Structure 1
Amino acid sequence: MEKLEVIVYSSTGCPYCEKVKAFLKEHGIEFEERNASIHKEYFDQLKERKIFGTPATLINGKLVLGFQEKKFNKLLGLSETTPASVTPPTQVEAPEETADNIFQPVNQRVLDEVYDFVTIGGGPAGASAAVYAARGKLKTLVIDKAPKAGTLAITHKIANYPGVREEVTGLELLTRMQAQAKDFGAEFVRSTVLSVNFSDEIKKIEIAEGTIQAKSVFIAVGAKAPSSKIKGEEEFTGRGVSYCSTCDAAFYQDQVVAVVGDNDEAIHEAETLAKYCKEVKILIPTEQLKGDADLSSLEANPKVKIFRRHRVREILGTDNVEKIVVLTDKKEEQIWDVDGIFLYLGGMKPGTDFLNGAVMRDEEGYVLVDEYLRTNIDGVFAGGDARRTPIKQAVISAADGAIAALSAEQHVNKRTKLRPQYS
């Protein structure tokens, strides 16, 4: 087998860098890490290659930007079914809990079981529900098709989750929740739900491997962004297109960048970039910001220019981003010179299409529930971003999970009222 030379250029606090390193470790691949946020020589090496973001991985000289599992498998000679961990036990101390060892493949035992409680989705709502349900002695199963791809999992920094005083990545926080549920006896499997049948007392959940059976079900699939990308976005990802100021802001010292978005994340990222950049142009596609986002701090910053009702049509450049095509509020196309563009576009929609008519949903696909998160079908609950909440926050989704699990415990054990867990 050809000897592999693997170099990972990383940044402190970059969640995608952690994904790359975890992937390589899990597959027993030795690599050299070059932290570009600590060592200026590594930062300069990336700039010389016209790479303006991390992670950047060189595999025998071939570049992989970001975390691209299929490309890693191909360049490293791994099959997509390679076990998650092939490192000899002597090389690892007690393995840390990760999504890859919490979530297991579906086997026949899972298909033969009738679970008390099944949550479709392993994000903060599903994981929190699993903690409460499993601790309440319900036989609990969590199904998730992509445990590391949800909204919380790809959030690069969480600093306001109650009880967690240190800053953590979304994936770290989520993994802690899932590991806690696993400690109480919950099972986690990775699979895609194709359809559901809630017409009988025992609910049926169809997945590719067969049928999951459950006495109660919690719909906690979260929301997803539209798949359409800006023209040029994919081509220049890592070469001027970025999604994380923590990872990449230092690459734009004294340069001009655009930030695109209408949410709180876009505002905070623009604030961070203004500490490094000569100028930050924030393009807000709509007239109003979403949620509780507040522009006042940016309006007072002389390095920031705000453009409402401006949209990016195309990203242009040769080896890296050089210009963007902007549709102004006057419906005129303009070409702006920028050195980089940071994208925080929303447009999240609940991923509930697989339900079809199994439960009642509104015109946008949100599941309709009452105060106990009960749907119109007895024994079926919904929460988190699958229902219409006043604002989307991990702590609200986690609270929904607790309510849904306690409601499910009442249903399964045929109690007259909810029984709280005090200790």
Structure 2
Amino acid sequence: MSLTLIKRLQPCTLPAYKYHSYSTAPLGVMNQVLGEVMDAIRSAGTYKPERVITTKQAAQIKVKGSNRNILNFCANNYLGLSSNLEVVEAAKESLDRYGNGLSSVRFICGTQDIHKELEQKIAKFHGRDDAILYISCFDANAGIFESLLGPEDAVISDELNHASIIDGIRLCRAERLRYYHMSMPDLEQKLQETQGSRMRLIVTDGVFSMDGDVAPLKEICDLADKYNSLVFIDECHATGFLGATGRGTEEFLGLDRRCHIINSTLGKALGGAAGGYTTGPQSLIDMLRQKSRPYLFSNSLPPPIVASASKVFDLITKDNSIIAKVTSNTKRFRDKITAAGFEVWGKDHPICPIMLGDASLAGKFAEEMLERDIYVIGFSFPVVPKGLARIRVQISAAHTEDEIDRAVDAFIEVGKKLGVIP
């Protein structure tokens, strides 16, 4: 999709990053080098300040330095359950019963019955044999490729996959190839080039988090069948809310368990705390318990997080209405913001990237929105490619229709002020 060219704002002038001189030579050199790096980041207009939230995560929040209620349109809290009373209560009860943590890894003395119960819920939810929990999905992605693939194998990854997938693939000894983003002809060419491999693993995000676009999973699986390959999908921005019952990209696209391996997170729609998992064939899960380094050498997931995620699975399995709500909210926002003249990438997903192009403009736009009590963040290089800066809006089931409309009105006001729309 082409990016509409817009008038670029001049980067704001910022003071040079101040560093101290140290008498110890190595520290002095490091400090000077890092000072120069920070100066360059600030000069480029890509410095990313961290706003401090003083309340719980919700559709309305407060930020440090202000007592106003701010509408939050920048969280992965897709189902609005991170502060749900039933979810929080489940965490509290587990804290009383199971304690704060296990102080150990799973195979030593770090496995409780609630860990096994949650793994079974995850496997059942996805229709797979078994599941294995990690402290984060970053760890799940770091642990699978090195354990599964050897020098005789090949891994073929979409060029815009999650950073954690990229890092995980770097750890393995398989032949590593990348195909152009969602390009099936290029993927097929890579499959043809690797036909001598023992195993081939096609790796894709289900939903690409910066652009909000959904992988062409049917076509990927068709190619996998044609070339006798495995399919791995990262569902961090799909599990729990994409598809009629929240089963993710497969359900959204009308596919029936065609992916061989699913990695996903508990830290977004499924409670908003932390934790990740791999689910798939029993043979794979059994092997990961024996060989996956992040699993073997990281502490067990804390009981309150396990209990809260388990409660979320109970809630969305029993009632799909909250999933329908995030879908309707997404349509409302996308329809209105597109009608206003903004360029919005992706389709039918709560991630709504509003394309601005210039990094400084994206930062200025976000500050103007905060002045209007709307919390959004400008995304720029290196999070997204140079020249493709944006405001990434994220819709939640917790937003009301009035809050959606207020956000759109603020976008229109700021967009006209900064010359983004006429």
Query: What's the TM-score once normalised by structure 1's chain length?
Result: 0.20
Higher relative contact order (CA 8 A, sep 6+): 2
The structure carrying a bigger helix percent of its residues is 2
